[in-house]
Amino acid sequence: MSTDGPVKIGLLGRGTVGGGLVELLGDRAEAIRSATGREVEVSGVLTTSQGDFEQILAGADVIVELMGGTTTAREHVMAALKAGKPVITANKQLLAQHGAELFDAAEEAGVQLRFEAAVAGVVPIIRVVQESFGAVEFTKVFGIVNGTTNFILSEMASSGASYEDVLAQAQELGYAEADPTDDVNGADAAAKMAILARLAFHTPVDFDDVPFEGIESVQPDDLAYAKELGLSLKLLGVAERLEGGITVSVYPCFLYPGHPLSPINGPFNAVMVQAPEITEVTMSGPGAGGTETAAAVLGDLISVISGDAPIHAAERELPVLSDVESSFYLHLEVADEPGVLAQVAKVLSDAGLSVKSVVQKGMGDDARLVMVVHRCPEKLFTDTVAEIGRLDSLRSGPRFIRVIEEEFV
């Protein structure tokens, strides 16, 4: 990086976040100078209709990639790192799919690759995992890392409206994109969890290693019945260190009241980190937004100019495990006749599964059994539920959602 004159920023993409960054660079110029001792100027901008990448690269001290996508963005980010230029990006899919080669290129060139805005919006979780707690042994990193789905689930729970109606409302309010697929099916959260797990456990984790489930099939009555059991529903990303490896996944999950993530509603994100040395830390904040995301990019820019290099994880190979344990909410539409509860209870107890709580609701064609089953191996649970699904007394297929049972105080 040049040592005199303004620090020159090559900006790739000037949309929602890139535009927000340009505004912040103007509005906060004095604060940036006082934090870094340097002026900052945008020396080149690339959009689909403007700018030449090679020229922008040659004239820049730092490349800020805010284009999105994994093809052109990957080529440009790799070229910048190979040219010895530090890179800041907000692109979660790029890091989740090509993290290994990007980290290697950054390390080889001895330059910084920063990406605070790629995970959990404004919540500075990357800095906390990589730097603040860079030397602790994390046991678990989990949270709400997608604001769109959190808005939809909170609205469904409070209004009783259907998934489709609330999704349309989220699109009107700008909380969901015109094509919301990657948000609602869990892929966006899975990309973020791949990045977080890699940093927290110092082991390679790619997007393909993270099984994900979305919220598209959540029914309003699941939320209504769960309320009676004191539960609220979140789409959680969970990365956990277990005996013999790690597990990383994304799924809808019920939480009991008192859980630190339970009150996080609307388009907010929140992440919890746990380690013996720090017990537990929870952070929350807006999950997206042009200015908010740009503020996280600006924080990275200040770190790059100040020369604070993040600790790059020493790599080790931890296996990614698949069959883990969980508690479950189970929703059964049953025939309104005597003995149904006993039949279901027998299948559960024959499998060694125990029930924490049960609610019997409705009559006739509306009769249901809703219960929470204590922690058990997931495969045992799904096999047992398949057996329950074969009982004549069931009116439709069983529905189930994971539950975190711990009740925090």
Ligand X SMILES: NC(=O)c1ccc[n+]([C@@H]2O[C@H](COP(=O)([O-])OP(=O)(O)OC[C@H]3O[C@@H](n4cnc5c(N)ncnc54)[C@H](OP(=O)(O)O)[C@@H]3O)[C@@H](O)[C@H]2O)c1
Catalytic residues: 192
Q: Which of residues 24-83 bind ligand X (CB under 6 A)?
A: 46-49, 66-69, 72
Residue nearer to ligand X on the CB measure, 99 or 398: 99
Backbone angles phi, psi at 238, to 5 degrees: -130, 125
Report 200-239 residues binding ligand X (CB under 6 A): none
- Look-up of token digits 């799919």: 97
Question: Distance (Å, rounded) from C-alpha 168 to C-alpha 172?
Answer: 6
Which lies closer to ligand X via its Cβ, residue 286 or residue 398?
A: 286
Q: Which residue, 24 or 348, is less far from ligand X as judged by CB?
A: 24
The interface with ligand X within residues 229-288 (CB under 6 A) comprises: 288
Q: Any contact of residue 15 with ligand X (CB under 6 A)? A: yes
Interface region with ligand X, contact rule CB under 6 A, candidates 86-94, 302-310, 336-344, 393-401 = 86-94
Residues 99-128 close enough to bind ligand X by CB under 6 A: 117, 121
Asked if 14 is part of the footprint of ligand X (rule: CB under 6 A), the reply reads yes
* Residue 91 interacting with ligand X (CB under 6 A): yes
Interface pick for ligand X out of 10, 18, 285, 310 (rule CB under 6 A) = 18
Kindly report the number of other CB atoms within 10 A of residue 142's CB atom. 23
Interface residue with ligand X among 13, 180, 186, 310 (CB under 6 A) is: 13
Tell me the site size for ligand X, rule CB under 6 A. 24
- Residue placing its CB nearer to ligand X in the complex, 59 or 319: 59
Q: Is 196 in the site for ligand X (CB under 6 A)?
A: no
Nearest to ligand X of 16, 139 (CB atom): 16
Residue 21 CB neighbours (<10 A): 29
Of 16-24, 153-161, 221-229, 255-263, the segment contacting ligand X by CB under 6 A is 16-24
Q: What is the binding site for ligand X (CB under 6 A)?
A: 13-18, 46-49, 66-69, 72, 90-92, 117, 121, 288-290, 293
